[in-house]
Every structure is written in structure tokens, then in C-alpha cells.
A and B are shown apart, each in its own frame.
Chain A
Amino acid sequence: MTTSFPVDLDAPHRRCLVGNEPVIFHCHHFNTYLQQTLLDAEYLDTPKILVGAANEAAFHQLTSLFDRQAVQAVPERKKLAEELYRWAGFGKIDLSSLTAEGGTVSTDYSHYSQAWKVKLGKASKPVDFFTSGWLAGALSAVYDLPQDAFSATQLKCMAKEDELNVFSLTPGGPNYAVYTSPAGGTLSKQVIQETPVSPVDEDAVFQALGELPLAGDPDTGLIEAFGVILTRHYANYYNRISFEFERELAATFGMEGLEIAEPLLVESGHVCAFNTFGGIMKSMEWQGLIQPQLSTKEHWVQGMVACINALGWGRWQAVEISPGIAKFIIHNDYESIGYRAMYGRADHNISYLAKGAAMGIMDLIYIGHIEDGPTLDPAFYNQLFKAEHSYRGEVVKSLAMGDAYTEIHVLQ
């Protein structure tokens, strides 16, 4: 898969950067659930966070890329931005109608709007906050203007059953929160731990999965794989929206706000595990590449960890695996790296996605018997995760809080 922009793979740390922004795989289930969590707090102005975080990442990434690739002319810059948006699986966008004075742009493929409609039904308001912010950031970068030069408004949305998504960009200042991207953050020294003997050749899996053509389709700009719709999203986007959200809740409601956000942010990871990990473990890719190496449930956990390590989330290790407990060590988990770069050392655990994902692995394999190929639908989800014997997670070490790595124990 060739792109006109460099994709920087940091294989030892299991990370990937484009334009100095860490990019990670996440599916439409996670994207919509996390956005829904923020929008549920109607008493906070969370759209300004969603739009602002996209503006932040897009502006920084494209500014970096234009500089690194020495792309000066506006048409070439727009072309690169369009290609990047499609490659990442956000949909299709045509920037030709936009100028330094703003303008209107429409699209008939949008990850966020189409995902919302499929997962949550018809929306009453436009939901593609991400693309609104992305456009504002991209346009500023294209014209060498300040990051917050444009306001962005979504006028029509396919999730509302409009035919197209339509966005309007207007000069004169932002209608969203303005953040400064922390770029790739500072990595901690990675000391690989001993793990149980595994039949899974993890490095070979990493290389093989890296060869999958996981880029937005040329015609739709969507990435269809493993039974879900993927994005190669910005780690800084997820981090910004999650952490700004909990900070606003804490500022407004104190500890109660923080405590209420936590289970929903973890649940986003759980939703992600169920759908993406479940989809991976039922996929042809799994059957062809991973499954021939596996014979026990513990091997399935090891196989799944090998796949996670191709998602850009940092380097995962399963250091202990049994039906009763699994211990996962994560070196440079993207949440901790982002938190420290954005806010400094954390005073509480913030590896929400990682915790939910680790729990989901164990639930899928030991309770859901994913090897039998169950249908991954809401009924199965409720059966699996509402069960009293489903797994719970404990973050026992946190890189964000100053430990050398993040460690999560998952137990029944």
C-alpha cells in the first residue's frame, strides 16, 4: 500500500506515526460509543471538545506533513489532505471548493455519520463533529493560517437521513475549544518482561498484519475489515476528548463527576473488544494467519495480544494467563503517553480503553467461547457482559501515574 505521505512505523514500541501524530486502529463501535458518552452529558458543551480535538490533530498533522514533504502549492496540499482523510478511513472529502475565505464542502461517505446511523439509529442532530473539526484544522494548515482561523458547522448529516454531509467553514475565529497537539509524547524505557511459552510468532504476526491493505477504499474512503469499519485514527483525538470530558465533569461536579465518567470510558473499551477483537478472532485473517498456531484458550489470548500489537496501541504482553486471572503489561500505552504529554502526571488511573479491552479479551475467550464462532450481536453482548461471572479489571500499575509501565489484572 503506497501513500504520498510517509507512514512512520515504530516497530519496537508497536506504534505508528503520520505527520508526527500517533495513529491507531479503532472501529466504528468504539468511535460511536465514545462520542455518545460525551453527548450524553448534554449539560456540558461537549461538541466543542469533539470538534476542537479533531481540529488540533488535523492541523498539527498536516502542518508537519506539508513541512516535511515540502508541499507548498495549495492544490497539492489539498490533494494530500484528501488522500490522508481517505487513507485513514474517515470517508471521502473534496476540498476543491474551499478557499482561504472558507466555503462549503459536502460528502457522501463519512465514517462517523454512517456509523452512527447503523449503530444508534437516526440522529436528531448532525453527528460528524470529527469532520467539522478536521476540516477547520486542515484548511488552516493548507493556507498557512492560525489553527483556529475558521469556525466549522455541519449543516446536513447522513445520520439524520440527509443525502449528504454538508459542512460550512467561516473565517473569523473558532466555535470550538482550541488545543495544542502534544505530538508523539515522550516514551518510557521499555523493558520487555518474560511471558509464558507461546506458539505464536508475534514478530511474524506483526509483519504479516502490517501487509494487510488496511486503508480507506478508493471509492468510499472506508476501511472494511474483521466485520467492522475501521479507522486509522488519532491517538491524541481519543485522549483529548476522553480526558477533557472527565476534567470538565470533575470541575463541575467534583469526584462524583469523575466516578460517573470512568465506567462509561471503560465500557467504550469493552465495546471495542467485543466487536473488533471478536471480529478479528472470527475473521478469515485470523483463520489464515493466527489460528494454525493455536491449540488452547491461553494460546488464543496470546494470539489476540499479537494482533493488538499491530493496532498502534503500544506494546502489550500477557505475562500470566489462566481461566482465573490474566495479567497484561502494556509498555507505552497510548492513553498514558497522551495524558502525560497533555497534562503531566496523572493522579488517578486513566487507561480506560486498555482496561476495557483486557477484560473483553478474557470475556470473549473464556466465557463467550469465541472459538465456536458466536454471532457478535447485542444479545450476545448483553449475555456476555451482563453475566455475574464476567471478568473485572484492575489497573495495578499506571504509566500515567509514574510507574514504568501499565499493568492490568483481569479476574473473575
Chain B
Amino acid sequence: MVGNQGKLFKVLEWLEDEGEVKAVARLRMKILPFTVQESIVISRIDRKTTCSGALLAAARNAASEIAGKRCPV
């Protein structure tokens, strides 16, 4: 999990730039079961946040779908 430190935050940052208004809110909705399972409050995600590979993959996929382009994180 430590290897993923900050990557979830980077996905959010990327989507904030690349997505439409409230794209990050949509991402939160899509990955809610994962974040709840890992006790991660999305509004408190920062550069130090670590998460599982499964959550990161889910976030990356959802971000790509929402932005309509591949998330490079």
C-alpha cells in the first residue's frame, strides 16, 4: 500500500484538470464502496494517502471513463 502513496491524490488532480465540472464528484460516487471499505474519506485524500491496488485501479478506470481519455497516473 505504501507504494501507492499519493497516487490516488494524483488521479483526483488529473481528473480535476481534465474532466468537466464535478468530474471528481462523479469519481467519488463511482468508487464509494472501495473508499468506504478502506476507511478513506475522499474529501481528506492528500499526497500522503495510501490505498490498495484494487482501489487505485478502480479510481484510474473511473477517471478515464469520466474524462473520456486514459488516465496516465
Contacts and interface: CB of A to CB of B under 8 A. Distances in A.
A257 B32 contact: yes
Contacts of B35: 256
A41 B36 CA distance: 14
Contact of A256 (B21, B25, B26, B41): B41
B20 interface: yes
Contacts of A381: 20-21
Nearest to A40: B29
Interface string B11-42: 00000000011100110111011011000011
B21 A264 contact: no
A40 B33 CA distance: 12
A227 interface: no
A259 B35 CA distance: 14
Nearest to A271: B21
B57 to A, nearest CB: 15
A253 B32 contact: yes
Contact of A267 (B22, B30, B36): B22
A264 B36 contact: no
A264 B20 contact: no
A385 interface: yes
A37 interface: yes
B32 A382 contact: no
Nearest to A257: B32
Contacts of A260: 25, 28-29, 32, 42
A380 to B, nearest CB: 11
A43 B21 CA distance: 23
Contacts of A210: none
A263 interface: yes
A261 B20 contact: no
A385 B25 CA distance: 14
Contact of B29 (A264, A385, A386): A264
Contacts of A37: 26, 29
B32 A264 contact: no
Given A42-B30, A261-B29, A264-B29, A253 B21 contact: no
Q: Would you list the 10 A-B pairs with minimal beta carbon distance, nearest first?
A: A267-B22, A385-B21, A263-B25, A40-B29, A260-B28, A43-B33, A264-B25, A40-B30, A253-B36, A260-B29
Interface of A: 37, 40-43, 249, 253, 256-257, 259-261, 263-264, 267, 270, 378, 381-382, 385-386
28 contacts: A37-B29, A40-B26, A40-B29, A41-B29, A41-B32, A42-B30, A249-B32, A253-B33, A256-B35, A256-B36, A256-B41, A259-B43, A260-B25, A260-B28, A260-B32, A260-B42, A263-B22, A264-B25, A264-B26, A264-B29, A267-B21, A267-B22, A267-B25, A270-B21, A378-B20, A381-B21, A382-B20, A386-B21
Interface of B: 20-22, 25-26, 28-30, 32-33, 35-36, 41-43
